[in-house]
Amino acid sequence: MVNNMIENEIKEKIKCSIINANSRINKEIKPFIDNYSGPFSNVLQDNYHVSSSKGLPLCQDTGMVEFFCFLGTNFPLKKPLQDVLDEAVSEVYKNFPFRYSTVDDPLFKRKNRMDNTPAIVHVHMIEGRGLEIKFLIKGGGSENLSRLYMMTPSASKEEVVEQIVSHIEETGARACPPLKVGIGLGGTSEKAMLLSKLALTSSNSKHHDDPRYANLEEEINNRINKLNIGFQGLREGISCYSVHILTHPTHIATLPLAISVDCYLCRTGGVFFES
């Protein structure tokens, strides 16, 4: 019974957090939208006011939900987290006016699953009795900008920066900027991509603990803003909110560089449980 209570609590809190992220403007993002006075500024501002007051989605693309779960080894959970989170996502998308965006087969029939499941769930085991869950609601526009570059291991900092900035310059206008940019460096190809996604769950004000990477985040952010992509690609206002880098040890012969971006809404959330 205790385990069922915990699982129900997880599901209900996640449901509330998804609803909130899809219909209420991110508090870190709101000042940027309020201070923007360029083309369609009134539309962007009206949009989040209407969404909040009527419970409507901030964007028609209510995305796929991607979870990052840090599960304590002693957390009393019997039911797989994938099942718990899929139930939460399905119930939210069936009962609220959020578009179903998940298709069953990726290449042939592409039939809509009609409940936005399965969620993408990454589980990381940690010491303790706690459970932390972070999530992204990723629309197709921002997801399509994801890239992996296998740089040469001798690549310089300047070459890494140039690759990132060049990618955003070429594609950034297609992902509803201003953007939040996540960078994964090191590990293997899939580890770097995972890090770049996890980096997008960081607060705009959070910087890398290593001053070298913190300075690199600021440098890349400044370079992207100088591209003058602007709000919605209209060349007015900022182009990038923030850049976040996560790193991991890597093979001596590799330097994986992964780039992920979030659209101007930055629909993220998180909950923490302690048994």
Provide the mean pLDDT of the chain: 96
Same domain, 92 and 125: yes
Give me the number of domains the chain comprises. 2
Same domain, 66 and 158: no
- Of the pLDDT bands very low, low, confident and very high (cuts 50, 70, 90), residue 1 is very low
Residue 4's pLDDT is 77
The whole domain housing 184 covers 140-262
Query: Which H or E run contains 85?
Result: helix 81-95
Same domain, 15 and 112: yes
Model-level pTM? 0.96
- Phi, psi at 95, each rounded to 5°: -105, -5
Residue type, 254: T
- Of the pLDDT bands very low, low, confident and very high (cuts 50, 70, 90), residue 192 is very high
Q: Render the burial of 214-236: b for 16+ CB within 10 Å, e for the rest.
A: eebbeebbebbbebebbbbeeeb
Q: What is the pLDDT of residues 27-84, one digit of tens each?
A: 999 999 999 999 999 999 999 999 999 999 999 999 999 999 999 999 999 899 999 9
Q: Which residues make Cβ contacts (< 8 Å) with residue 90, sequence separation at least 6?
A: 115, 116, 117
Q: Which residues make Cβ contacts (< 8 Å) with residue 215, sequence separation at least 6?
A: none
Same domain, 154 and 169: yes
Query: Could you say which DSSP state residue 265 is in?
Result: T
Residue type, 148: L
Give the relative orientation of helices 81-95 and 2-23 as an angle to the nearest 10 degrees.
Answer: 50
Whose tokens are 């629909």? That residue is 267
Q: What is the pLDDT of residues 230-266, one digit of tens each?
A: 999 999 999 999 999 999 999 999 999 999 999 999 9
Same domain, 61 and 183: no
Cis-peptide into 118, omega within 30 deg:
yes
